[in-house]
Amino acid sequence: MSLPANAPRLGVLGGMGPLATADFLVKVIRATPAASDQEHMPIIIHNVPQIPDRSRAYLNGSDAPWPHLLDGLRTLEAAGAAAIAIPCNTAHVWHARLANETDLPVLHIGQAALDVLALECPQARKVAIFATTATLKARIYHDPLVLRGYVPLEPDDTMQASHVSAGIAAVKAGRVEAGRLLLAEAAQALARQGAQALLMGCTEIPVALDGARLDMPAVDPTNALARSCVEWWHAAKVKLSLRDAQV
């Protein structure tokens, strides 16, 4: 069944990085129950990789990404987006400010990921976080995990630099297999330290660890955000149908 021309459209504030945005789009499509092209979610993608590096900016006390993020938000609003998704964990440093700049819902990757963690890893209490150093220092995942009763674990400074940050950089440079080896080694080390689940808190990490054999379950925030977007879309379609029925 075809959707009406005014069907709600998801806006994706992407490009951070471009491969992660493509991965997110694939996961939205796979999460969408559809029997034909016409039954898939309409998506407007703002894929601009020139947004300044979020991690470097945060660690240096710079607000350089902000005007670019705001410009992307305004572009998506003007294009007719009805909700915004940001497939970049570190960009969520600016999530609250972006949400305050729009009347549109701005879905949160961290909230979506923690909901999946509770659902799919109910026995886990100690949770390893792999993310950019900025995401770790900004406590994007630490504080919500603690509030929900989890014990967050993270690599020490040496492993963060040599394995996690280096693995993320490898994926951004197109060396996915090299990133997989580094990140899998780090996951094994955290499992030996007692981690019972892994939060892959950078959108490059699920790309690298896709198909990797780990010693603990891993939660993919990119996929969690995709599922959250599909849930939003179905709710928005119901609202649209009810509104049209009343006209």
Rg from Cα positions in the chain: 18
Q: Across the chain, where does the E strand assignment appear? A: 10-14, 43-47, 83-85, 126-130, 151-153, 197-200, 218-219
How distant is the alpha carbon of residue 127 from its chain centre? Answer: 17
Q: Which candidate in 112, 127, 184, 202 is catalytic?
A: 202
Q: At a CB cut-off of 8 Å and minimum separation 6, what does 182 contact?
A: 162, 163, 164, 166, 167, 170
Which two three-digit tokens encode residue 133? 């150093």
Q: Are 203 and 225 in contact (CB under 8 A)?
A: no
Q: Which candidate in 85, 88, 127, 187 is catalytic?
A: 88
Considering only CA atoms, which of 70, 74, 30 is closest in space to residue 229?
30
* One-letter amino acid for residue 153 of the chain: L
Query: Catalytic residue at 202?
Result: yes
Q: Are 14 and 45 in contact (CB under 8 A)?
A: yes
Q: At a CB cut-off of 8 Å and minimum separation 6, what does 12 contact?
A: 21, 24, 25, 43, 44, 45, 46, 47, 76, 84, 85, 86, 87
Query: Catalytic residue at 229?
Result: no
Active site residues: 88, 202
